[in-house]
Every structure is written in C-alpha cells, then in structure tokens.
Structure 1
Amino acid sequence: MEIDHFSSTALDFKGVEVCYEYDTIREVVFQGKHNFSEIELMGEIDTLPTTDNRKGSNFFKDQNQQQLQESKVDNLMLEEVNFDPDMQQKPTQLFHEITGLKKHRVAGSEAVEYNKQVPPSLTSLELLRNYGSRFKRVIEQNISTLSNTETYLDHQKMSTEEIIRVAGASYVQYSAHWNDSFCLSMHPYGLDLGSLSEEETSEIELAQFLLAAAERVGCQQYERARRLLLHCEWNSSASASPVQRVIYHFSKALLEKIYKETGRVTTFKGPENNKEIELIQKMDTCNSLICHQKIPFNQVMQFTGIQAIVEHVASETKIHLIDLGLKFGVHCIALMQALVERQDNCTVEIFKITAIGLNTCKATIEETGKRLTNFAESLSLPFSYDAVFVTDIAEISEYHFEIGEDEAVAVYSPYFLRSLVSRPRCLEKLMRVIRNIKPIIMIVLEVEANHNSPSFAKRFIEALFFYSAFFDCLETCLKQEIECRMTIEAILSEGIKSIVAMEGEERTVRNVKIDVWRRFFARYRMVETAFSEPSLYHAELVAKEFAFGKFCTVDKNGKCLILGWKGTPMHSISAWRFL
C-alpha cells in the first residue's frame, strides 16, 4: 500500500488546542518463548572490578563475574525475571540468589550492625561509575565549546540529574572513606568548572547521604540506613528545590522498604492494586490541560502516532480505532481533523472508535464519547463511538469488539501496556486478543526506562536518574504551576515507592525499555515499522513550539522514536504491524 504523506496542517496542534479548550476535552500527559511467564530485561552496565577487598565489599562481585561470562554469549546482558507467583521469594532470598554469594551473611542483631563497618558494596557503584563517566564526557565536551572567559557553570546552571550524577561519581570515588556522620564533597573530576554554588554543594552532599543509605539497605544494615535517611528527610522537602524533592521521595521509599523488611509494615497489596495508575485516572481535567499545554512530550508523541495512523489508512474508507487509554480524547480530535482533510479526496464512509476502560472510569469515558460525537458532527464526519467496560482487563476478549467488514483497524496504546508487566498472563491474553483483531497498525507509547530488574540496586539507581530528569522537567515547564506540579509529583512518588520499596507481586511499576518490548512483540509476529520522514520532521517542530522545547530531545532508536529531557531518555513511541 502506497503511503501518502500529509502536510502539518492536517495535524495542527494549535488548531487542536482551540477545539480542545472549546470542548473541554483534555488529555493527561501520562499516560522466542510462547508463554509469557517471564520478561527479558536489558542491561547496559559496564562491569568494572571493585578495588576494595575488605570483608563485605564484594557483595555483588560474583554477579559482575557472571555478567562478564554472559556478555560473551550476549552483549546485551539479558536478565530474566520469573513472575510466577508460586516462584516468588522473599527479598532477602532473592538478593542472595542474584548475587550468588552463598557465604555472604549480614549481621542479624543491631549490636553487631552498629559495630561492624562494612565498606560500600552495592552494585550501584558500578552503575554510578557508568553514569559518572558519561557525565564527565558531557562536561568535557561542553567545556571545549566555551570561550576561555566562560565556565560551564556560568554558562548554565546544573540540572537536577547533573547534580545527582556528580554526587554519584563522587560517592563512588570516595566510598571507601565514607563515614555516616559526614561526606566528602570534593569534585571527582578535577576539571576547572569554577566554584559550585552553596546550594549545589549542599544538594550534592545530601544526595551522597541518600546513596549511602541505599548502600546500607542493599547490605541489610537497616538501622544505619534509617539514621542516614532521617538526615535526608530533615534536610529535604516535597516543596523545595527539585533535587531536594527527589531526595525526599526516594528517602520515603527507602524508609518504607526498611519497615517492610523488618516487619513493621506487613500489608500486602496484589498486582491489581496499582496506586500510580489510580492517581493518574483521578487526575482532574484542569491539571491535565496544563500538562498538555506546557510539557512537550505528550503533543510530540500524539502528533507522531496519529500521523502514522493516518498514513497507514490513507486509502481506507472504513476506519476503526481501538483505544486502550482513552481519557479526554485529544488525539482522537487530531485524527478526525486529519481524516477530514485527507489530500487524496478519499471520503471516509465511517470512522469508529472503541474505547477500553475499567468500570471505575466509566463516567469520564462516556462523557468523552459524547464530546467526540459532537465534534465529529461539526466536521460532518460519519462517526460511531462504543466503549467496553470491564472490572479487570483480563476479561477482555475479541468478542467485545464489533469489527465490520472491510474495516481498517488501528490500535492506539498510550502508556497502557506498562501497567500489565506485573501481570504477565493478563498482558499475554490482551496481546492474543489484539492479534486476533488483525489491526493494520498498532501505536505504542511507553516509558523508556528499566525499572523491572530483580536487583534492588539496579532499580534504585536507574529510577534515581530517571526521576531526577523527570522532576527537572516539571520544575522547568511548570515553574508557575505549583499545584499542578505537586499533583504530578505525588503520582511519581507512588511510582518511586513501588520501584524502590516493593518486591514480588507488590511491585506494580515495572517500566521496561523498547528493546524489551521488541523481544516481547516478536513472540506475536509483530514487525516494527518506521515513521515517515515528514512525521519525524514535524515532531521536532512541535517540540520547538514549546517554551522549553529546546530541552526536549527527539532521537531515533532503530525504527522507533525516543523522547528525552536534556539527553536523558524518557519516553518511546513505536509503530507495529502483524504478519
């Protein structure tokens, strides 16, 4: 099928926003094995040897050696996580099996824990080395581009993630000399960057305390970790600078992990109870609108995804969109406009939307259906709207969808599949249903992060840098929208808590990167399709229209797009067809 390229006028987001505000339709900014009993995880960690040979310092040494052996077979260093509930283990048992350290034991009493000075040994040190080395290269490149009379810090204030990177690199370099009552704030690179501000120095030191606490949690030294975290909590706040806010939320998550590990908190929540998703669904329309208008990610991804759908149904007259994450339907408005303005004079006989939703979201989805119906009438576009409501997504089957003859079906999945990674059987069933529907294209929007490792250390470090970039984005884009920003950060806090504090079935936030999704989709004979050059070009134009769009990066990863903030990957959008 020849794909027709459409001009940007068909997807003019300024025009969409006019209708968007008029109809009060708003969109939240977030949103080879045949049996999916496990999901593969990607790692990109340089395995560097530890130099400290004292007792306790080799906590993850065996793991590094094992990774080196695995890398000879597969340079991607895959990890596999068993999600079978019958195979779930206690976190402490999981740590011992992951590391392979059969002889490693942590002191069982507080008296021993107080007196035993175990040097830092967390796998995070290897991760931090990797992050720190990348930061050093960036700094050196920036310095080389400046004049002799400028310094990097004069040129641009350090971002939230850069401060965390400096803290991490410094902690790695001086971890052998760390004392719980003080930290070393020496700059780890010896570069002439000028003097750090008092605020930046303080935040770097505070971040080092957080890393030290995570180190001790990883070694099960809970009392020492708790004292460090109390220092973090005392010197941070949910309403202060973005660095302090990140440290505050991660400290809370680490404390909850300690309480769970020591039996002070015993409440079990099943995988169906996803507090992060619940808060996203309850987010009010006003905050959703603010996010849509001021944070570039959503509009860039919506434009790219809708443009791809339009191109793949260019010659179709009966079009059916199955939406897995419909809330306020902004992307549907853009699609309607594009279909009406198709340049090939191919009249649309019917455009159908089937929305999938839980019963708890019924009122919102039904109201959205009414608004979309009114909007379609204003465009004289033949339109049909249907909504499928279920108590649990596991109930979905192909019989819920009324697919007419000669209908071209497209599936739009905005941040939906990530919510099912913790429920592999449910995810597997949904993918079989979608395959049986035989869509001509499926657009998938997902979080580009690895938060699904069985290793607490890896999850903590990956999450720390990811959320540091996220909080930096919110601080920049929503500086004047404090209430909205705090609402979003409350949602992010639940994600942090799930990643850091939870284990087993309770860990519901399990974001994985595009390479993992590629392996998973391959099981269902799905083939990735590239976005057209016009789509890529206009996606970058959409980003540049935002006040801080220059910080939003749009990069290609194979055939998909990766959107980032100041170079840190944040989101992915990919297009798929079924063989």
Structure 2
Amino acid sequence: MDALARRGVKQLKISAVCSARDSVEETGNLLSSFAESMNLPFVLMFLHLETWEFEKDRLQLEAGETVAVFMEFCLIPLSDRPEGIGALLRGIKDLKPLVLIVVDVETDINALDFAPRFKEALLLMCALVDSLEACLERENQYRKIVEKIYFQEVICNGIMREDGGFKRCFKIDLWREYFAEFGLVETELSQPSMHQARLMVKGSPCWSSCTLKMNGKSMIIGWNGIPIRFVSAWKFSNDEGEEKL
C-alpha cells in the first residue's frame, strides 16, 4: 500500500474472498485506517463464500482496472479435492490478472509410510514452534490461535493415513508441474521486493534465525535452515509482457 501511494495510483480496491464464518471486520478497519493515513483512495469489499467457487461478476470489476490476485494458504485446504484447485485456478484465469501471488507451506508430508511422513512433519513443526517462541510471547492471543488451528492440522497430516482425512502438502517443485497444466508461468520477484524482504528480516533481532533462499524464481522462507513456506509469482501464458512484480 505504501508503494502504491508513492506511485500515485488513482484507487486501490481490495476484494477479500473469505468464508462466511470468518471475522474480518477488524482487518478491514485496520486496512482502511492505514490507507487513510497515506491519503490513498481505498475501497474494500468482502466476498463471503461457503466454497472456493465464485462468479466473476460478484467481484464487481470495473473497466480499466488492473487485477492482481494474492492467494495465501489456499492450496492445502483444497489438496484433497484436486478438482477444487482446478476450479479456483480457472476462476482466477477468467479475471485476467496481471499477476498471481501464491504463498503456501514448503513441505512434503505425503509419504504413505508413517516414518518418513512423521519425520517431515516433525521438522516443520520444530521450525514453526521455534519461530513462534522467538517472535511471540506465550500468552499472545494470535500465537494461541496459530497453535490451536494451524499446528493441529500439520500434526494430523503427519500421523493420519490418507484415507483418514489426509491433506496433501507439496513443495514448490511439484506445484510448478501442476500449475503448468493451467498455463501458469513462474515470474521473477523484482529486486526491490527481494531487497525489502531482506531488510525486514535484518530489521528485527527476533528474526535472526530466519533464512531467505531462492528456488528457481520463488523465494523459500525458512527457520534455522528448515523450509517453512514459499513465495511465488505467476502469470497465465496468454498474458502479454514480462513486467516483474
């Protein structure tokens, strides 16, 4: 938002697609207040859905708008229904976005045998717990939410069999192959964005164990050398131009 304000954009509109059960009012108020402090013309709308399928018309796109899509931790909830991911990507393609940003967990908890699956889940959990211990107090309400909801799912994926509610977690290498089937082409992250990420990590002593590495054109965020998540940028193959994010 700060970068857009400095560029003098006419208006920033965020359409947040969320579950009808999500409480998003507080987030909306914070974003609106932040935009107002920078004199950035801002419109915020929430699209409440019970499923990941949505109709383009519900986003109320206007002629001349430049569309960018940010998709964070959407792949795992849909991983046990590949047709769901396909429907989501086809819906996004219909929006004709300039860029699609995908952020998700960088791990492979898919082995049918228990031992390798448990080992991978254990490594991820150790890194996540260590990162929370360094960055948040134990009584922090957000830490409790993460531990209760997110950690529980990772642990279950590590010990449950595939026929017992198993969710698939793939690394960026496998997602590249899957995305290619939908005409998605990986795009380089710009040098300014990479520089900003490194400055953020160096700017806090709490993040001294955070690592940033590249895998192809995507960034891998890790803790003590253990990969935690990937950040990637994509364009649909029928898009024109090679402008970097």
TM-score category (smaller protein): 0.7 to 0.9
Aligned-partner Cα distance in 2 for 1:566–1:409 = 36
Contact preservation (8 Å) 1:444, 1:574: yes
* Aligned counterpart, 2:82: 424
* Larger relative helix fraction: 1
Query: Is 1:496 aligned to 2:161, yes or no?
Result: no
Change over 3 Å in CA distance of 1:466–1:378 after alignment to 2 = closer
Change over 3 Å in CA distance of 1:424–1:552 after alignment to 2 = same
Query: Is 1:468 aligned to 2:92, yes or no?
Result: no
Aligned with 1:391 (options 35, 50, 56) = 50
Query: Is 1:524 aligned to 2:182, yes or no?
Result: yes
Aligned-partner Cα distance in 2 for 1:372–1:414 = 17
After superposition, where does 1:26-41 map in structure 2 within 5 Å?
A: none
* Aligned counterpart, 2:71: 413
Aligned with 1:558 (options 205, 213, 216) = 216
Aligned-partner Cα distance in 1 for 2:36–2:125 = 42
After superposition, where does 1:20-99 map in structure 2 within 5 Å?
A: none
SS state at 2:205 partner? coil
Query: Is 1:339 aligned to 2:4, yes or no?
Result: yes
After superposition, where does 1:269-288 map in structure 2 within 5 Å?
A: none
Structure 2: state its 5+ residue gaps: 238-245
* Larger relative strand fraction: 2
The alpha-carbon deviation at position 370 of structure 1 amounts to 4.1
Aligned-partner Cα distance in 1 for 2:122–2:27 = 36
What amino acid maps onto 1:482 in structure 2? R
* Aligned counterpart, 1:193: none
What amino acid maps onto 2:42 in structure 1? F
The alpha-carbon deviation at position 517 of structure 1 amounts to 1.1
Aligned-partner Cα distance in 1 for 2:201–2:172 = 21
Aligned with 1:373 (options 24, 32, 35) = 32
Contact preservation (8 Å) 1:422, 1:505: no
* Aligned counterpart, 1:162: none
SS state at 2:119 partner? helix
Contact preservation (8 Å) 2:121, 2:157: no
TM-score, structure 2 length as denominator? 0.87
Structure 1: state its 5+ residue gaps: 1-334
Deviations 1:190-223 (A, max 9, x none): xxxxxxxxxxxxxxxxxxxxxxxxxxxxxxxxxx
Aligned-partner Cα distance in 2 for 1:547–1:469 = 17
Aligned-partner Cα distance in 2 for 1:370–1:540 = 28
SS state at 1:468 partner? helix
Contact preservation (8 Å) 1:353, 1:385: yes
Aligned-partner Cα distance in 1 for 2:208–2:29 = 37
Deviations 1:155-202 (A, max 9, x none): xxxxxxxxxxxxxxxxxxxxxxxxxxxxxxxxxxxxxxxxxxxxxxxx
* Aligned counterpart, 1:332: none
Aligned-partner Cα distance in 2 for 1:373–1:468 = 36
Instruction: Report % sequence identity.
Output: 38
What amino acid maps onto 1:341 in structure 2? R
After superposition, where does 1:2-17 map in structure 2 within 5 Å?
A: none
* Aligned counterpart, 1:437: 95
Contact preservation (8 Å) 2:104, 2:231: yes
SS state at 1:489 partner? helix
Aligned-partner Cα distance in 1 for 2:144–2:33 = 34
Contact preservation (8 Å) 1:551, 1:565: yes
Query: Is 1:357 aligned to 2:15, yes or no?
Result: no
The alpha-carbon deviation at position 407 of structure 1 amounts to 1.1
Contact preservation (8 Å) 2:125, 2:154: no
The alpha-carbon deviation at position 502 of structure 1 amounts to 4.1
Aligned-partner Cα distance in 2 for 1:373–1:576 = 28
SS state at 2:67 partner? strand
Query: Is 1:537 aligned to 2:191, yes or no?
Result: no
What amino acid maps onto 2:155 in structure 1? I
Larger Rg: 1
Change over 3 Å in CA distance of 1:487–1:370 after alignment to 2 = closer
Change over 3 Å in CA distance of 1:474–1:351 after alignment to 2 = closer
Query: Is 1:507 aligned to 2:166, yes or no?
Result: yes
Change over 3 Å in CA distance of 1:550–1:525 after alignment to 2 = same
Aligned-partner Cα distance in 1 for 2:208–2:138 = 22
Aligned-partner Cα distance in 1 for 2:105–2:155 = 14
Count the aligned residue pairs. Answer: 234
SS state at 1:573 partner? strand
The alpha-carbon deviation at position 368 of structure 1 amounts to 3.1
SS state at 2:21 partner? helix
The alpha-carbon deviation at position 417 of structure 1 amounts to 2.1
The alpha-carbon deviation at position 418 of structure 1 amounts to 2.1
Deviations 1:319-373 (A, max 9, x none): xxxxxxxxxxxxxxxx2x221112xxxx422221111011101xx3244334433
Aligned-partner Cα distance in 2 for 1:454–1:490 = 25
SS state at 2:139 partner? helix
Change over 3 Å in CA distance of 1:356–1:505 after alignment to 2 = farther
SS state at 1:360 partner? coil
After superposition, where does 1:235-274 map in structure 2 within 5 Å?
A: none
After superposition, where does 1:125-136 map in structure 2 within 5 Å?
A: none
Aligned-partner Cα distance in 2 for 1:489–1:392 = 25
Deviations 1:488-543 (A, max 9, x none): 333313420233124326113x2210011111111111111111223222311210
Aligned-partner Cα distance in 2 for 1:367–1:445 = 23
Change over 3 Å in CA distance of 1:371–1:406 after alignment to 2 = same
* Aligned counterpart, 1:483: 139
Contact preservation (8 Å) 1:355, 1:365: no
Contact preservation (8 Å) 1:366, 1:387: no
The alpha-carbon deviation at position 487 of structure 1 amounts to 4.8
TM-score, structure 1 length as denominator? 0.38
